[in-house]
Amino acid sequence: SNLYIKVFTLGFFLLNISSCSFIDNNKDSFKKKYNELNREIIKNYSEAISKDPDNFFFYLERGKAKHDYGDFKGAIKDFNYSFKINPDIKVMFYRANSKFDYGDFKGAIKDYQKLIPNKDFKDQIFYNLANSQLINSNYVKAINNFTKAIQFDKNDAYSYLYRGNAKYQINDYFGSVNDYSNSIAINNKSYIILNNRGVSKFRLKKYKSALEDFKKSLKINPNNYNTLYNKSLTNFELKEIKKACIDLKKSIKLGKEVFRDEYSKICN
């Protein structure tokens, strides 16, 4: 079940700092088949529950299928029923993940905190708790729990990435650059991590170094208008007005109309 995959933070944009997901569901055919499979699982367990309404396992499995189908509210309801029948710690973990994906970050934090003493899913508990706290703007707590997650898995590029995002939010730009660099050392193919490191370098006024990160990011994803915008502002700081205007115009053409005001100020 995808419930075992770490939940992830939503995007952050500044200048423009970004986040990313772990699952690529862009392939419509795969997504369609996956949804059909989960609909069938939900149907089968609904029939089983009608015959045995007090079966812990049936609610648990239907909840997992509902989560994977995207019915997070329904999944939470099933996990609540399942937990009421049998307060298994694993059910709380699944429920916490569904609460996170549903947007109930305070509820997710409450469940994850209860799970900390348990040995199961220890690495994921700290990681998911940190993500919930990050989105709930509890940045210092998020940093502490990402640090604990990293102690369990020092090769997780995303723990470094998101801890870097949390450090950025409290203006610890040196710390965020360090975390993004650690993340890049593990995964140097992510345009998002390169973009975010460039943004932190920009905040430190290391414009030439920031520009190199934005260039590397755009080599991986040349149509990312946020990175084009960041590169444009960096060139502006480096007095490369013409280059700044070229990138800013590209970002507008790619659909970021909100940058048109900046274009008027800088380029006209």
pLDDT mean over 144-170: 95
Q: Binning pLDDT at 50, 70 and 90, where does residue 25 land?
A: very low
Residue-averaged pLDDT of the chain: 88
- Say whether pLDDT at 9 is over 60: no
Q: What is the rounded distance in angstroms from the CA atom of residue 72 to the CA atom of residue 116? A: 23
Q: What is the rounded distance in angstroms from the CA atom of residue 50 to the CA atom of residue 29? A: 32
The pTM of this model reads 0.81
13: left (phi over 0), alpha (psi -120 to 50) or beta: beta
Q: What is the pLDDT of residue 1?
A: 35
Q: What is the rounded distance in angstroms from the CA atom of residue 172 to the CA atom of residue 203? A: 10
197: left (phi over 0), alpha (psi -120 to 50) or beta: alpha
- Say whether pLDDT at 10 is over 70: no
pLDDT mean over 5-11: 35
The CA distances from residue 121 to 6, 7, 146, 207, 212, in Å, are: 10, 13, 14, 41, 38
- Say whether pLDDT at 260 is over 90: no
Q: What is the pLDDT of residue 128?
A: 93
Q: What is the rounded distance in angstroms from the CA atom of residue 230 to the CA atom of residue 213? A: 10
Structural tokens at position 75: 């999944």
Q: What is the pLDDT of residue 16?
A: 56
Provide the b/e sequence for 95-110 (b: ≥16 CB within 10 Å). bbbbbbbbebbebbbe
User: How does pLDDT run across 53-66, given as a tens digit for each residue?
Assistant: 999 999 999 999 99
Q: What is the pLDDT of residue 254?
A: 86
Type of residue found at 186: I
Contact status, residue 97 vs residue 67, Cβ threshold 8 Å: yes
Please give the full DSSP string across 81-142, using - where no structure is assigned. HHHHHS--HHHHHHHHHHHHHHT-HHHHHHHHHHHTTSSTTHHHHHHHHHHHHHHTT-HHHH
User: How does pLDDT run across 47-106, given as a tens digit for each residue?
Assistant: 999 999 999 999 999 999 999 999 999 999 999 999 999 999 999 999 999 999 999 999
DSSP tag of 154: T
Q: What is the rounded distance in angstroms from the CA atom of residue 246 to the CA atom of residue 144? A: 41
Residues 6+ apart with CB under 8 A from 194: 180, 184, 213, 214, 216, 217, 220
Q: Binning pLDDT at 50, 70 and 90, where does residue 191 land?
A: very high
- Say whether pLDDT at 219 is over 60: yes
Specify the residue for token string 């995007």: 11
Q: What is the rounded distance in angstroms from the CA atom of residue 128 to the CA atom of residue 135? A: 11
121: left (phi over 0), alpha (psi -120 to 50) or beta: left
Q: What is the pLDDT of residue 22?
A: 35
Q: What is the pLDDT of residue 145?
A: 96
